[in-house]
Amino acid sequence: MVVRAARTADIRAIRAIVAPMAESRVLIAKEAVTYYEAVQQFRVAEVDGRVVGCGALHVMWEDLAEIRTLAVLPETKGAGVGSRLLEALVDDARELGVQRLFCLTFEVDFFRRHGFEPIEGQAVEPAVYAELLRSYDEGVAEFLDLERVKPNTLGNTRMLRQL
């Protein structure tokens, strides 16, 4: 398995991996343009030249980033693909100087095994919260737990990891 930075040619495979999870509301459905705009945030896992998993690191603030769209093909679950992708994203976060990682997930046990802990309330100071309110990014709105995104986050657990 090779974990590498995503390229524009990988977006179709990423969307195919994410589509069934978006249909079942495990992940949020996004337009193709959104994936192309964020391609530099993504890493993919490849086996024999086939993309079998993906994940993204989205920086939200000076010390805070979110793990997004971490997904693997169903037939690769349990093979360590998600763990390898997450490790690569954590390394990317460290390289950028991020000190905390956030995720919104149904896969609580997986993320707990990787050092994430459930959180309640806000994980940022009021001044940073006020700045983040200015973001148009839906993931930031989910992080802030804004009322308008509640249907997207129903049943998910908010988790945080200190680096």
Tens of pLDDT, residue by residue over 1-58, are 999 999 999 999 999 999 999 998 888 888 999 999 999 999 999 999 999 999 999 9
Question: Long-range contacts for 112-120 (Cβ within 8 Å, ≥24 apart)?
Answer: 112/159, 114/83, 114/86, 114/90, 114/161, 115/161, 115/162, 116/159, 116/160, 116/161, 117/159, 117/160, 117/161, 118/157, 118/158, 118/159, 119/158, 119/159, 119/160, 120/158
- Burial string for 111-130 (b: 16+ CB within 10 Å, else e) reads beebebeeeeeebbeeebee
Q: Does the pLDDT of residue 146 top 70, yes or no?
A: no
Model confidence pLDDT, tens digit, residues 74-132: 999 999 999 999 999 999 999 999 999 999 899 999 999 999 999 887 777 777 767 77
Give the pairing of strands 64-72 and 100-105.
Answer: parallel
Q: What is the mean pLDDT of residues 53-74?
A: 94
The confidence score (pLDDT) of residue 150 equals 54
Q: Does pLDDT of 152 surpass 60?
A: no
Q: Is the pLDDT of residue 144 over 70?
A: no
Nearest CA to 128 out of 116, 144, 117 is that of 144
The label of the residue with tokens 């980033």 reads 65
Please give the residue that has the higher pLDDT: either 79 or 147: 79
